[in-house]
Amino acid sequence: MRIGIVNDMPLAVEALRRVLAQAPQHQVAWTAADGIEAVDMALRDRPDIILMDLVMPRMNGVEATRRIMAEAPCAILVVTSDIESNAAQVFAAMGKGALDAVDTPLLHGAPLAGKHPLLTKIEAVGRLIEADGIAPAPRRMPAGQLVTIGASAGGPAALATILKALPAAFPAGIVIVQHVDARFAQGLAQWLNDQSALCVRLAQEGDRVRPGEVLVAGTDEHLVFKSAERLGYSSEPADHTYRPSIDVFFRSAGQFWPGALTGILLTGMGADGARGLKDLRDKGHLTFAQDKDSSAVYGMPKAAFQLDAAREVLPLDQISRRLLELPGLRLSTKGLPE
């Protein structure tokens, strides 16, 4: 079974790794140093079992158990330094969905003291999963397609041109960061929605990316991915010239999104988005920039071109066609510009 380890103590993590290494049927999928990281990792790569400590910085094991069972449910075994002294938290975690609890094995004393109780508990949890008819969590497959778009001056019209050429069944999620005052963001989303067969709305804290839906940054804070599946807003970096920043968004998408990703930088003044687009290209993602002739303001696309951030430089009226030619997104291009 694939196992996630959640513990902020390096010695404890090492002890758990050594125990699992003696049972070749198990492998460590990932480790997390606190509850927040554990939730993010579970969303990105759901293991068969999570070995959850209780006392950690930022988010304790009880809250992490609750969040994981709500968002990426899997078997959770509490592994803590002293079950008896932490009985209240153990029962609280079990109340949130943890299946059992066991003491953390030790590196000192008898060879890996406590390894047998841990392995016994893991095997018992495995049998419980099989008895309930729950298949082990599949290995992480590629996530859905994501299209990220940044735009500034001249952007609304350019965005409308792209979106109106995409069908309602477009099988990728789209997230847009357009430089616009927060007071006008709702009006922009509604206007784009009226121009497109796709559903266009403002991104809300905690939103998930869904195929056929377009999310638009809606505040003066930065729109970012806070996990592999959830969007949110952040005030950091506080000193960034542009709010919301395309660079900040592109970088967060590159950090968290686990599937295929296409980055697009459209018309706009300045250079926001160019470095973020370069980061996406460096990570192996497909990147487009609008060409000079079709840009209302050839600032941001020019900066991307100078950084060699765009794998393809395209006229505006060809971007939708190119999106529909991507692997996994091949739909009819009938009616699109030649």
Known catalytic membership, residue 234: no
Peptide bond into 244 cis (omega under 30): yes
Range list of β-strands (E), 203-306 = 213-216, 222-225, 231-234, 261-265, 286-290
Cα distances (angstroms) measured from residue 252 to each of 157, 223, 288: 26, 9, 18
Known catalytic membership, residue 81: no
> What sign does the CA torsion over 181, 238, 71, 142 have?
positive
Known catalytic membership, residue 152: yes
| CB atoms closer than 10 angstroms to residue 293 | 8
Contact of 84 with 117, CB cutoff 8 Å? no
Token readout for 337 is 């510009």
Instruction: Give the active site residue among 152, 196, 245, 252.
Output: 152
Instruction: Give the active site residue among 34, 48, 53, 272.
Output: 272
Instruction: Give the active site residue among 26, 179, 222, 285.
Output: 179
Closest C-alpha among 14, 55, 26, 58 to residue 40? 58
Could you give the CA distance from residue 303 to residue 150 in angstroms, rounded to a whole number?
13
Token readout for 243 is 């709010």
Q: Which residue numbers are catalytic? A: 152, 179, 272
